[in-house]
Amino acid sequence: MTIASMDSRLSLDDMLATERCSHFSVLLLTDGSPWAISMTQDLAHLHAPWGVGVFEVNTSEQNTTMTYEQLSQSIATARQLCDELWCVTMVVVSDDPAFLAAFAESSFKSHLLLVQKTKLLVFTRIPLHQLQTLPHLHRTLSRTTSLVAVVDDTLPVFRTKVFSWLPFTDPESRPLQVASWTIDERLTFTHPPDLFPKKFLRFPHRPHVLVTAEEFVGQVAFTVDDPTAPEGKRLTFGGPAGNVMEMLSTTMNFTYTYVRSPDRTWGLLQSDGTWTGMMGLITREEVEFTPGPFFFDITRSQWIDYSPFVFMENYLILAARGRPEVNPWGFLLPLRPKIWVALLTALLAVCVVMLFLSYCLPTYMQEPHMADTNTFKCVRVLLQEGN
């Protein structure tokens, strides 16, 4: 292993050590080149608490079609692993521009990096200005939690610069440098403290995005006057989802326009693998997102990325009640033997006390059959009967 390869491995390990998730895994994908292979040697020292997986696509002995097929299979397997693991950092090591372009296209189509818990770190020695010209790379890197580490081992001092492509920026715009690494200073952050900046919290350039929504209970579509909109009218929605959109546009600094689906539905998965309705607009990238609200569904989660829950709603199962039936002895049903014993004991005690008190009265106040009358009164009170 060369010194440059050792420095590359050290820089990679320092970057992975910044991961705050204590139970994350690392998936390595290489193009089979000697430099890429050297990065996958001695993986025991790599910072990955929940293990490391390695995918190697040998581009030197295959044609373009075979390479793309093997790459697609590796990405499909990686996607299955990402669905099972808690949080994953995908590390792609390659100096081949065609390989990186194919990875960007295939990973975007397979939604490998769509899940929020999956991060991407690309290690390459391709110069930054050449990376900016690769097809599909800007789209993938700007819309996902991704970084590119550009290694420069031609200088006397080995250096790695880490860049982040901001969302809704032009492909020609220079990415944001978030960190750099040298053997002396190790990992130095430009925007501390996170290696992966939270670039989706607030956009600096106030982009204009397309979103989709549909009517449902509590959410009604209507038009308002807007001189900047086509024909002077702008579509908007009232209700909780409309309020959420207004809040998001203000806090995240973007403007938006609603686009409705042709069939005015939420979306169903067709037999050919395409979606209708709002789901179709999202999967075809005709809109950026939808405020929904969408219920969580395992099939949808394979195509779209859910935000945290906006609100919770409880659903109950209702059934008709039976006809009421009057049971005059129904008050006895909840009484258990111990309660019966306590009631009879209390009744007997009250009767004894009343009988004793009646004999303590003067003779002229005593009535005939007073003992029977007092006993009957106690029983009447117990049975809740009137006079």
Residue 42: its pLDDT value, please?
67
**Taking Cα atoms as reference points, which of 85, 4, 80 lies closest to residue 52?**
85
Rounded Cα gap, residues 354 and 351, in angstroms: 5
**How many DSSP H helices and E strands does the chain contain?**
11, 12
| Contact predicate 160/150, CB 8 Å | yes
Digit-by-digit pLDDT tens for the chain (387 residues) are 555 667 788 888 888 888 877 788 888 999 888 888 887 776 666 777 788 888 988 876 656 677 788 888 888 888 888 878 878 889 999 999 999 999 988 888 777 776 567 889 999 999 999 999 998 899 889 988 899 999 987 777 788 999 999 999 888 888 999 999 988 888 888 866 678 888 888 998 899 999 999 998 778 888 888 887 777 888 999 888 888 899 999 999 999 999 999 999 999 999 998 999 999 999 888 999 998 888 888 888 778 888 877 766 777 888 887 777 777 777 677 777 888 888 888 888 888 887 777 777 676 566 666 666 667 777 777 776 666
Q: What is the DSSP letter of 365?
A: G
| Contact predicate 152/159, CB 8 Å | yes
Architecture per CATH, domain 208-301, reads as 3-Layer(aba) Sandwich (3.40)
Residue 164: its pLDDT value, please?
92
Rounded Cα gap, residues 22 and 212, in angstroms: 37
90 backbone dihedrals φ, ψ, rounded to 5°: -90, 120
Residue 148: its pLDDT value, please?
94
77 backbone dihedrals φ, ψ, rounded to 5°: -65, -40
| Contact predicate 194/213, CB 8 Å | no
Tokens of 132: 């900016």
Instruction: For CA atoms 307, 299, 22, 104, give the dihedral sign.
Output: negative
Rounded Cα gap, residues 111 and 291, in angstroms: 20
DSSP string, 172-196: TSPPEEEEEEETTTEEEESS-S-SS
Amino acid at residue number 80 = Q
223 backbone dihedrals φ, ψ, rounded to 5°: -110, 150
Rounded Cα gap, residues 6 and 168, in angstroms: 36
Every domain of the chain with CATH number 3.40.50.2300 lies at: 3-189
pTM of this prediction?
A: 0.72
Every domain of the chain with CATH number 3.40.190.10 lies at: 208-301
Architecture per CATH, domain 3-189, reads as 3-Layer(aba) Sandwich (3.40)
